[in-house]
Amino acid sequence: MYLSGAKNMAIKDDLAAGTIGLLNTPATSYTLDGVRVWAVDNGCFTGAYPGDDDYLGWLARYDDHRARCLFVAVPDVIGDGPATLANFPTMAGRIKAAGWPVALVGQDGMEHLDVPWHLVDWLFVGGSTEWKMGHGAAALIRQAQAHGKRVHVGRVNSATRFALFAGMGCDTADGTYLAFGPDVNAPKLRSWMAAPVQGVVT
């Protein structure tokens, strides 16, 4: 499934049906009426993370929609797997204690580290483009799947990239593809999701 970073009329029916989901962030703060499936990114990649306490306060505004939320991304450090893991347990615990499913954002080098999978509900594949598209992210995806975790991939804005990660068995992906020319791009996106999945060797 694709989680759109943009909410617009071109996908109104898709959002209501749950065939396309919505990726919400503190910066966008979308209303969720008429949205069947959604998830949360933290805004670290764009420099818009509001801080731990404000992040939790912002989440609390959406408590009535919590049952439909796939995951909440724990704050991460862009391109730095060790730093992301060092900071992960405390905020993961706070988010989980508030009743939300936790996503660990995968970052460069994390595939070589001791990941506390027992604290993780989802793996959110972030990281640099080079790492995301290389063997490192593929190895981390396999680790997550071996531990029974679902996998989301960020910054997927082409049919080629969508097909690649679908072939790896990833569950969801997001991007800003529908922020630009949504009336033209929404049908293209639907065709990505409808295409047969081809397994890939990683």
Tens-digit pLDDT profile for residues 45-87:
999 999 999 999 999 999 999 999 999 999 999 999 999 999 9
What residues are paired with 173 via a beta bridge? Answer: 2, 153
- What φ, ψ does residue 111 adopt, rounded to 5°? -65, -20
Would you state the pLDDT for residue 198?
A: 83
pLDDT digits (tens, 9 = 90+) for 136-189: 999 999 999 999 999 999 999 999 999 999 999 999 999 999 999 999 999 999
What is the phi/psi pair of residue 190, to 5°? Answer: -60, -35
* Residue 166 φ/ψ, nearest 5 degrees: -60, -40
Contact between 2 and 19 under an 8 Å Cβ cutoff? The reply is: no
Q: Residue holding tokens 């966008």?
A: 28
d(CA 112, CA 33): 41
Q: Alpha-carbon torsion 172, 162, 144, 88, what sign?
A: negative
Mean pLDDT of the residues in the chain: 97
- Degrees to nearest 5, angle at CA 45 with 172 and 7: 55
State both tokens at 1: 């499934």
Structure confidence at residue 30 (pLDDT) = 98
Residue bearing tokens 């306060």:
57
Residue 150: per-residue pLDDT: 98
d(CA 68, CA 85) in angstroms, rounded, equals 27
Does the pLDDT value for residue 202 go beyond 60?
no
Question: How remote is the C-alpha of 46 from its chain's centroid?
Answer: 14
